[in-house]
A and B are shown apart, each in its own frame.
Chain A
Amino acid sequence: MKSLAELEAIRNKNKNQVGLRREGEGTRIVVGMATCGIAAGARPVLTAFTEEVGKRGLAHVTVNQTGCIGMCRYEPIVEVMAPGKEKVTYVHMTPEKAARVVAEHIVNGHVVTEYTIGANVEQ
């Protein structure tokens, strides 16, 4: 170890990983992974979220799964819950959409309105 900067670099690389194990803080991305979700293609969506979060080294963001929330025809459904903000529900998700949600919503704080349930109800 030659310098503080070197230590800092290793810390930043690992903080995110270990941070997953502290409870109840940060943003949660929740993917519906019941039979209906999986059948509609939730698995690659989950993987895409995991990869995006990992690639960007986003501390305090966790990717969780949940069971069926009762709106099976909108699956794959993904909910984003950030502390102090209202829950955002995305529907008919794909891996490509996942990448955009991470870039725009999680990183920059702009909800991708066109993917939300509100914009898709009438269809």
Chain B
Amino acid sequence: MDFARAHILVCGGTGCTSSGSQKIIDTLHEELAAHGLDKEIKVIRTGCFGLCALGPIMVVYPEGAFYSMVKPEDIKEIVEEHLLKGRIVTRLLYEETVSDGSAETKSLNDVDFYKKQMRIALRNCGVIDPENIEEYIGVDGYAALGKVLTSMTPEEVIEVVKASGLRGRGGAGFPTGMKWMFTARADGSNGKYVACNADEGDPGAFMDRSVLEGDPHAIIEAMAIAAYAVGADQGYIYIRAEYPIAVSRLRIAIDQAREYGLLGKNIFGTDFCFDLDIRLGAGAFVCGEETALMTSIEGHRGEPRPRPPFPANKGLWQKPTLLNNVETYANIPQIINNGAEWFNKIGTEKSKGTKVFALGGKIKNTGLVEVPMGTTLREIVEEIGGGIPNGKKFKAAQTGGPSGGCIPAELLDIEIDYDSLMSIGSMMGSGGLIVMDEDTCMVDIAKFFLEFTVDESCGKCSPCRIGTKRMLEILEKITSGRGEMEDIDRLEELAENIKQSALCGLGQTAPNPVLSTLRYFRNEYIAHVRDKRCPAGVCKALMAYTIDPEKCKGCSICAKQCPVGAISGEIKSPFVIDREKCIKCGVCMEKCPFKAISNK
């Protein structure tokens, strides 16, 4: 009998794996065996729980005890106390679950990080063993595929997806049902394909990786449903080789699905046949763009081509192809199981359902969050994210990565959906959400994203290849203190031209980070250009280290630390920095016990 009275779920996502969760699993097995508990307690390696900042994470059921930042040394105590004697080791729990005074611990669903979340795409992440198809089936997995194949026509499936209001989670937000309909209508007599975009090239984003690591069967099931709806019999998942855990779990999942007859011929005893293969990408950002992605799957260099024709008509090998993002697919089985109306009730008027965000940057609870569309940025940053660390102030949040823009503090109460973000000059993008505090220079951030696009531009069209490079040169000029006021106008003009003339989405959106920082933080650009000053104290060339004579006690620590002897003065009277000699290393500022030195 393989029934276990307790389950220990250990996060095997990329985050927790790099903070040592495999060692935790090994130690658990050893300790459980040593106490004769290995038959009655099961250890399960799951996907991501979301609270990556506190990894490695381990949850013990049935109690639901949430241990965070677990160390291998802690395991013996947890096994002996909690698993043997039933005494939860409160000291090692995630502190927010330990309610003050009472012996009862708080349910995970009541802690700030999870309270406002709603898990649809991430439903099974951190709950099931992604390497065991039976666990997925145990949580109603493949029921939607069964339902579709045995009781619905392809047209009915498309109607449900349309009525759900689901829009593409890969960035552009195109209505998924419409895309399915166009692909279904295209002539597939020479073949038709479905494909999954798991390239996830947006720096800082890891939603898709987490879904694939935590719930790979959901994607396989959804792609089979999509294939049935549009009339395809072969699918491809395009995933970057930089995601080794996700790739390996997908491989296992595909093999298991074949073994159980959920991929292959005559699925559920019907005429429907479908199989799936993985194609590895080398990690170029442009390969996430749909036409480049398909060119890459075909075995050519990943370069985009003009649209139309759209993939729905001419995709892989010139045949109609349906391409959707990982998270888009992750919603499908549940829409089929729970109905379009259920999904349609979640979210805002034009954006239905939930969105997963990879929350990063200057935020306490770095991790993965899934919230209903229409949740405000403030709720995500302050409540779920736990606010900005070290008592700093929120300055801006960047969504949409290198194609998106920043949202300033005045707009913190914006209800996030596709259209609201667009209207303020940012975009949903794939779901990266980077929080910036007062120490962030917005010109520097714009430069960072532009460096990324310049690097990642495939070079096929000149607006992107040359234009973004020229924009970057102007930004470099500004941040090094050589900017002129006309440079700001030039930036804007170039930006508009590139937006209009670049071949693909990469170039068309590359100027967005510059345009949106110009829109909300123009004063910072002006400070750099006119006053030769970086208000956040980031741009090195513009830094000027000075000692505040009011605060300086004349202790001479700075002078002793300065590696180039640029600081002088007499003990007990204010010291001064020689600007000519100063190399702006910042050591003096760091060491001053009286905070008398500033660089702004």
Contact = CB atoms under 8 A, between A and B. Distances in A.
Interface of A: 1-4, 7, 10-11, 13-21, 23-24, 28, 31-35, 38, 46-47, 49-51, 53-55, 57, 62-67
Contacts of A11: 137-138, 140, 143
A66 B262 CA distance: 42
A67 B80 CA distance: 12
B268 interface: yes
Contact of B269 (A2, A13, A49): A2
B135 A18 contact: yes
Contact of B3 (A31, A38, A53, A66): A53
Contacts of B150: 4
B307 interface: no
Interface in B1-36: 1-7, 9
B139 A18 contact: yes
A121 B109 CA distance: 40
B268 A62 contact: no
A62 B134 CA distance: 20
B86 interface: yes
Interface in B95-139: 107-109, 127-128, 134-135, 137-139
B455 interface: no
B267 interface: yes
A86 to B, nearest CB: 19
B585 interface: no
Given A10-B134, A54-B3, 11 more contacts: A1-B262, A3-B269, A4-B268, A13-B134, A13-B138, A14-B135, A18-B128, A18-B138, A20-B61, A21-B7, A63-B5
A21 B127 contact: yes
A7 to B, nearest CB: 5
A1 B86 contact: no
Nearest to B126: A21
B414 to A, nearest CB: 33
B213 to A, nearest CB: 18
A7 B146 contact: yes
| 5 pairs of A and B residues whose beta carbons are closest in the complex | A54-B3, A65-B86, A14-B138, A62-B62, A63-B5
B322 to A, nearest CB: 23
Contacts of A13: 134, 138
Given A4-B150, A62-B62, A64-B62, A10 B137 contact: yes
A20 B135 CA distance: 12
Contacts of B4: 17, 20, 50, 54
Nearest to A31: B86
A62 B138 contact: no
Given A1-B260, A14-B135, A33-B85, A46 B143 contact: no
Given A17-B3, A21-B7, A64-B62, A7 B85 contact: no
B185 interface: no
Interface residues of B, number: 38
B267 A1 contact: yes
Contacts of A51: 1, 3
A92 to B, nearest CB: 19
B63 interface: yes
A91 B268 CA distance: 50
Contact of A7 (B61, B109, B135, B142): B142
B62 A28 contact: yes
Interface in B407-444: none
A21 B137 CA distance: 15
Contacts of A21: 7, 9, 61-62, 127
A64 B65 CA distance: 12
A6 B2 CA distance: 20
A18 B5 CA distance: 11
B137 A14 contact: yes
A21 B4 CA distance: 12
A101 to B, nearest CB: 15
Contact of A23 (B85, B108, B138, B260): B108
Contacts of B6: 20, 63
Give the residue among B108, B109, B135 with the most A Cβ atoms within 10 A.
Answer: B135
A38 B85 contact: yes
Contact of A15 (B85, B109, B138): B138
Nearest to B127: A21
Given A10-B134, A18-B135, A55-B3, A66 B86 contact: yes
A75 to B, nearest CB: 13
A19 B139 CA distance: 8
Contacts of A34: 85-87
15 contacts: A1-B268, A2-B261, A4-B146, A10-B134, A10-B137, A10-B138, A14-B137, A23-B107, A23-B108, A28-B62, A34-B86, A53-B5, A63-B62, A64-B86, A65-B85
Given A7-B146, A23-B64, A53-B3, A67 B137 contact: no
Nearest to A18: B138
B84 interface: yes
Nearest to A66: B86
B298 interface: no
B341 interface: no
Contact of B62 (A4, A20, A55, A67): A20
B7 A20 contact: yes
B59 to A, nearest CB: 8
B143 A7 contact: yes
A30 B138 CA distance: 25
Q: Which of B3, B9, B63, B138 has the most CB of A within 10 A?
A: B3
Nearest to A7: B146
A37 B62 CA distance: 20
A63 to B, nearest CB: 4
A50 B3 CA distance: 7
A36 to B, nearest CB: 11
Contacts of A57: 3
B493 interface: no
A6 to B, nearest CB: 9
A98 to B, nearest CB: 12
Nearest to A33: B86
A23 B107 CA distance: 8
